[in-house]
Amino acid sequence: MQRVYPRPHFGKFLHLEDIKHKILQAAKRKEETFPDLVVSYISAAFLFPKILLAKLPWDITFLLFSLASSMNVPKVSIPLLKPNKQKNEKAVWDYQGRGYAMYIHIIASTYGWTQKYIDNLDVDVALALVQEIITDEQLDREFLWSMSDKNYIYNYQTKTGKANPLERPYFMQVEVLAPKKIMIPKSMMPVGAGTYAPQPEEKIPSPADLRGL
Cα–Cα dist 151/142, whole Å: 9
Q: What is the pTM assigned to this prediction?
A: 0.72
Cα–Cα dist 119/11, whole Å: 4
Q: How many Cβ atoms from other residues are within 10 Å of residue 14's Cβ?
A: 22
Per DSSP, the three-state class of 195 is: strand
Give pLDDT tens digits along the chain (213 positions): 344 567 789 999 999 999 999 999 999 999 999 999 999 999 999 998 999 998 899 999 999 999 999 988 898 888 988 877 766 677 888 888 889 999 999 999 999 999 999 999 999 999 999 999 999 999 999 999 988 888 888 888 888 888 888 998 888 887 766 667 777 776 666 665 555 555 555 554 555 554 554
Sorted by where each begins, the domain ranges of the chain are: 1-73, 74-83+92-169
Q: CA torsion sign, 141 to 143 to 144 to 145?
A: positive
Long-range contacts of 61-70 (CB under 8 A, 24+ apart): 61/35, 62/38, 65/38, 65/41, 68/16, 68/41, 68/42, 69/20, 69/41
